[in-house]
Amino acid sequence: MEILKRNIDGELLISIVLIISIFAVFYGNSGFSLILNERASLIALIYLAIGLFGLVFNFKKVMFTGLALSAFTSLYLKSASNISVKLPELDHQKLSFSVEHFNLSSADNFEEVLDKIWSTTPDVLSFQELTPDWNQELKSALSEKYPYNYTAVRIDYFGKSVYSKYPILDAEKVEIENINDLILHLDIDGQDCMLISTYVIPSLDKISEQKAADQLNYLAEIMNATTVKNKIVVGEFNMVYWNESIRKFVNNTKLLNSRREAPINGDMPYEHIFYNQNLECTFFQEIKDDVNDKIGIHGVYQTVEKVMIGSL
């Protein structure tokens, strides 16, 4: 009787785990399934714990299922991240530049953001959820060291701005679903670099989910239509990078992810920097405030090909 009960309990547990897997990995675009999908890294640890539980108590089916699903979910997450075992080292014979992005609604005050900028000294700055008050403060503080900027100020939270140490060759606002995304071409030591600052509509329901998908599809068309060698897309995507919508966007554009690790602490990575295959990411980190809350991200990029001395 005890053996039969053990087998029934094991089969039931396996079924529950499989159902969670299906929702978390494949159907994570809205509602409850989105919640599970965003916590896929935590679910992978739960699978591991279930597998170890089966090992300790000799539930072989539970053990194999838990360990297999943990490995499968981990591979699923890794396939959407930067798959490099080790990031390339910075090569001074290659063209290199840094990009930093801030969601201003996450920052407590202006001085906090400014301190982070002066400590990291990025070449290009991206600001989102830019309000008129923030715009005035940033322009006053940054104009000397970042003489080139392109700004779309709004009274809502869809305002954006890009500040650069490099000249802006061309810039335009593209309205997608009533949101102005910024498209810039920067002259980085003689090479054209296309940079898109985007804010993707949060997927709160089926309607907003479709709008976000349409927005990403339109961005993909823009990216694929240009012949510029160096491309960067930065901003608030309001979804984790392993979400199916972002996976499709990355596959359609052949872009690469700067992030290498999925968090397990519940602090979801909604802001991203993607780059094309002519570039490589040598450094990436989240920017935290004094109480360890995330307010931005910082990435360093260089060209795959070396730059000939005297060609610039």
Q: 194 falls in which pLDDT band (50, 70, 90)?
A: very high
Checking if the pLDDT of 309 tops 50, the result is no
Q: Look up residue 238 and give its two tokens.
A: 């309001």
Which residues have a Cβ under 8 Å from the Cβ of 179 and sit 6 or more positions away?
158, 199, 201, 215
pLDDT of 118 reads 95
Checking if the pLDDT of 280 tops 60, the result is yes
pLDDT of 13 reads 66
pLDDT of 2 reads 47
Q: What is the mean pLDDT of residues 166-192?
A: 93
Q: Look up residue 277 and give its two tokens.
A: 């295959």
Give all domains of the chain, ordered by start, each with its CATH number.
2-80 (no CATH), 94-306 (3.60.10.10)
Query: Three-state SS for 160?
Result: strand
Q: Mean pLDDT, the chain, as a whole number?
A: 87
Reported as type and span, the H/E element at residue 180 is strand 179-188
d(CA 111, CA 188): 28
How much is the pTM? 0.89
Nearest Cα to Cα of residue 87 among 228, 279, 309, 296 = 279
Q: Provide, rounded to the nearest whole percent, the portion of the chain with pLDDT above 70.
A: 87
pLDDT of 62 reads 80
Q: 26 falls in which pLDDT band (50, 70, 90)?
A: low
pLDDT of 162 reads 98
pLDDT of 206 reads 81
Which residues have a Cβ under 8 Å from the Cβ of 264 and sit 6 or more positions away?
41, 42, 45
138 versus 10: the higher-pLDDT residue is 138
Checking if the pLDDT of 66 tops 90, the result is no
